[in-house]
Amino acid sequence: MEQFKIKLHKEKFNFSSAHFITYNGHCENLHGHNYHVNAELTGIIGSDFLVLDFTVVKPLITEICNSLDHRVLLALKNPHLKYDVSDEEIEVKFGKRRYIFPLEDVIQLPIENTTAELLARHISNKLIHVLEDKQLIRGQNIKSIQIEVEESSGQRAIYLSEQF
């Protein structure tokens, strides 16, 4: 069976966000990136001779990027961080380090760390969820989705999802 790929790389597939990661018992300083996202979908073409229509997929990726834009990214599943959430703010603690952010300035992500790798997985999962909700992944037409997150020029992480 023939397989085809569509690749999407648009200027609007970007977001600017602040984050910090924990690793080897350390916590990075809060800093930001101008992230860029690329997507690749592999599958078989349907009766319309498309894997998926570009005009359908582009706004979905844009919407996901916009949800992350101009926010502080927080990894809620990070076992090294302690969170205290009130109606208006969120306090994040790592050892003696403490941050307090207005809730409207953060996005609380269901991930273990805000690395480019896990951001790529998060974006992939969000895209798959939306495609399934819109019944755009039908039968086995889509075989894989690959999301690439570039946090700065020459530094990128790629997540490949082959199970939906």
CATH, residue 55:
3.30.479.10
Residue 92: inside a domain? no
Residue 135: inside a domain? yes
Residue 28: inside a domain? yes
Active site residue 65: no
Active-site choice (9, 26, 70, 129): 70
Active-site choice (19, 36, 150, 151): 151
Active site residue 132: no
The residues, any chain, with a CB within 8 Å of residue 100's CB and separated by 6 or more, are 89, 90, 91, 92
Residue 89: inside a domain? no
- Spatial CA neighbour of 38 closest among 162, 161, 152, 158: 158
Residue 31: inside a domain? yes
The predicted-structure confidence for 5-23, as pLDDT tens digits, reads as follows 999 999 999 999 999 999 9
pLDDT for the residue 140: 66
Bridge partners, 5 (sequence order): 42
* Domain that includes residue 27, residue range: 4-69+111-161
Report the distance separating Cα 56 and Cα 53, nearest Å.
5
**55 CB neighbour count, 10 Å cutoff:** 7
Active site residue 26: no
Active-site choice (19, 27, 122, 150): 27
Residue 78: inside a domain? no
Q: pTM of this prediction?
A: 0.95
One-letter amino acid for residue 9 of the chain: H
pLDDT for the residue 153: 92
Count of domains observed in the chain: 1
The predicted-structure confidence for 27-52, as pLDDT tens digits, reads as follows 999 999 999 999 999 999 988 899 99
Residue 53: inside a domain? yes
Residue 101: inside a domain? no
Report the distance separating Cα 71 and Cα 42, nearest Å.
31
